[in-house]
């Protein structure tokens, strides 16, 4: 599974970083995926972060 953040949509609210800190981090004022492949133990958190993103900036690819 891979997670991507669209920097043009991201508002920098940091919700994804709080929800899935193993997957997302802040870079400047936007979130980025800090791993190429989401670790198995973090998959549910990454999905929750994508579903919770108010800007719908996160996409998850299986």
Span 34-52, average pLDDT: 97
pLDDT digits (tens, 9 = 90+) for 8-34: 999 999 999 999 999 999 999 999 999
Mean pLDDT over 29-46 rounds to: 97
Question: What's residue 18's pLDDT?
Answer: 98
Task: Tokens 């609210």: give the residue.
Answer: 13
Average pLDDT taken over every residue of the chain:
97
Q: In terms of DSSP bridges, do strands 2-5 and 58-61 run parallel, antiparallel, or are they unpaired?
A: antiparallel
Indicate the fold that domain 2-61 takes in CATH. Alpha-Beta Plaits (3.30.70)
């Amino acid at each position: 599974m891979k997670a991507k953040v669209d920097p043009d949509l991201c508002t920098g609210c940091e919700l994804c970083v709080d929800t899935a800190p193993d997957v997302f981090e802040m870079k400047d004022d936007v979130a980025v995926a800090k791993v190429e492949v989401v670790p198995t133990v973090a998959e549910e958190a990454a999905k929750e972060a994508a579903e919770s993103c108010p800007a719908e900036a996160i996409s998850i690819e299986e």
